[in-house]
Amino acid sequence: MADPAEVSKSSERPARTTYGSGRPAFGRGPNGGGAGGYDDGGYYGDYEGIEGRRRYAQIADRHRCRFCREKLTRVDYKDLLILQKLCTSQGRIFSRKRSGNCAAHQRMTKKAIKQARFIGLLPFTS
């Protein structure tokens, strides 16, 4: 029978290149880099350190609800400019995804628009 050390050497596969956190580098070139990822500067590599944190804080603030940014606790039914921006030209209320409102302010907006329609400040349709 052959020596166990020789058998294990001949039957070993070449070692896979790991990428970042120990994941195998499938489809990332011969040395495991260059196709985009967290470690090689692909997604977030250019924005490391404090500057990157500040950059993402600005983006997060920009994507917050317009009422949360202004720290409004309620939506006024008499503020027609804001309510008209949250409705289509046909009179439909924009969705949360389209308007960018949080859930609480979207509910307040819905009530304010309905109240303004009932009073006659906003039209029901175009």
In tens, the pLDDT along 41-55 reads: 555 555 555 565 666
Q: Which residues pair with 18 in a beta bridge?
A: 24
DSSP state of 18: E
Question: How far, rounded to the nearest angstrom, does the alpha carbon of residue 110 sit from its chain's CA centroid?
Answer: 24
The whole model's pTM is what?
A: 0.52
Q: What is residue 17's predicted lDDT score, i.e. its pLDDT?
A: 56
Q: What is residue 11's predicted lDDT score, i.e. its pLDDT?
A: 58
Q: For the residues 22-26, what does the mean pLDDT come to?
A: 56
User: Minimum mean pLDDT among 12-21, 37-46, 64-73, 89-98: which range?
Assistant: 37-46
Domains in the chain, start-ordered, CATH in brackets? 18-60 (no CATH), 66-119 (4.10.640.10)
Q: What is residue 25's predicted lDDT score, i.e. its pLDDT?
A: 53
Arithmetic mean of pLDDT over the chain: 74
For 2, the 3-state DSSP assignment is coil
H or E segment to which residue 24 belongs: strand 23-24
Angle (CA) 62-59-34 rounded to 5° is 155
Q: Is 110 a residue whose pLDDT tops 60?
A: yes
C-beta neighbour count of 19 within 10 angstroms: 19
Distance CA 1, CA 19 (A): 39
